[in-house]
Chains A and B, each alone.
Chain A
């Protein structure tokens, strides 16, 4: 059996659900699960996000079939953080291609659920680590191309081709202050204005990666 998390599930006919899962070694998969309310089959209550499951599945193609599901751990995500948890899940759904083994994403998501359930005060750091596991790794003490140390007084820009580099007047990338970059690198708490600047940076970056496709959970996670 393999460890997995449910990222999203929706009803499929009367007794089944269509489930998007993040597995530890097989990446992101989509399965159909026939669920029941009593023990013996896959229990409906088990097919919920924020639970670490051990699963067995079979089949080929786009959609496979869940054969067995056992619950290994339940992350008690506070109700006020459910939307943020779903947002983290949607980041994976949208940024991780299907069936690409990504144990580092699994570990980062596991940590994210732990942070959410333990009322972590700096969830922007959790999001930063999750994005890094998804290939958006911009936290660095030196510029990516020239390896020049980040200066707190300067502004930098991020582009997917070059990474972090000194911003210019004609900059096309997303700007970020040197001080903010250094704080992120040292995992220091950001003040309110830095958090606002960083949120704009993250939103811009994610939007660019998704080619303008909206994240449906974003509004719930940050505006409600």
Chain B
């Protein structure tokens, strides 16, 4: 009976992963137990170790095993530019796609008053402290172009204004290779209002 309950516990636990429903979780559980118990043990150790060791960077709040993340410790980066993003995945995306050499601040979310997420939850006092150091001359707001993302960007820009720091916002609009017909009205309106000299 306890075996059945352990299996069920494993299946239920696996459903916490994105894109994994009950059926996929069942397949994963049976695969580990029938074919690859070694890999299963490794997975368990890796998970447990990651959860135990990985915390937040004391400066930019991204995920790291140490007090400070690799990017914050990189002295070769441009300390006059600070880019604010919502999640650690956004840092990775910008690092891979853009030639940005400044530092980051990861909000780990966005302001959403209706959901009880305010400046305290995003630890914006830490961001304020970085801005107060006087090294940043350009604050790049790279929050997502959702209503809450825009509100967050606006709130942070007010912090920057108080410190007399120039604030820029990443451009939003029609994706490269996209078709106007497939773009929603809000994005198209935004792209149109932000048109540039050709």
Any chain A CB within 8 A of the CB of B146? yes
Residues from 183 to 198 in B contacting A, C-beta threshold 8 Å: 184-187, 189, 193
Q: Complex Cα distance A76/B118, Å?
A: 24
Does A48 contact B155, Cβ atoms closer than 8 Å? no
**Chain B interface secondary structure, helix, strand, loop or mixed?**
helix
Q: Which chain A residue has the least Cβ–Cβ distance from B193?
A: A76
Q: Complex Cα distance A38/B177, Å?
A: 13
Q: Complex Cα distance A93/B114, Å?
A: 10
Does B186 contact A51, Cβ atoms closer than 8 Å? yes
CB neighbours of B189 from chain A (8 A): 74, 76
Q: Complex Cα distance A105/B142, Å?
A: 35
Q: Could you say which interface size class chain B belongs to?
A: 20 to 34
Q: Complex Cα distance A71/B182, Å?
A: 13
Q: Which chain B residue has the least Cβ–Cβ distance from A77?
A: B147
Q: With A48-B147, A50-B147, A79-B154 in contact, do A71 and B113 touch (Cβ < 8 Å)? A: no
CB neighbours of A83 from chain B (8 A): 113, 151
Any chain B CB within 8 A of the CB of A45? yes
Q: With A8-B114, A14-B19, A48-B146 in contact, do A80 and B186 touch (Cβ < 8 Å)? A: no
Name 7 extra pairs, CB < 8 A, besides A38-B182, A82-B151, A86-B151.
A10-B115, A43-B184, A46-B186, A79-B154, A82-B150, A83-B113, A224-B155
| Sampled A-B contacts (10; CB under 8 Å) | A14-B19, A39-B182, A43-B184, A51-B185, A51-B186, A74-B186, A76-B189, A79-B153, A83-B151, A93-B114
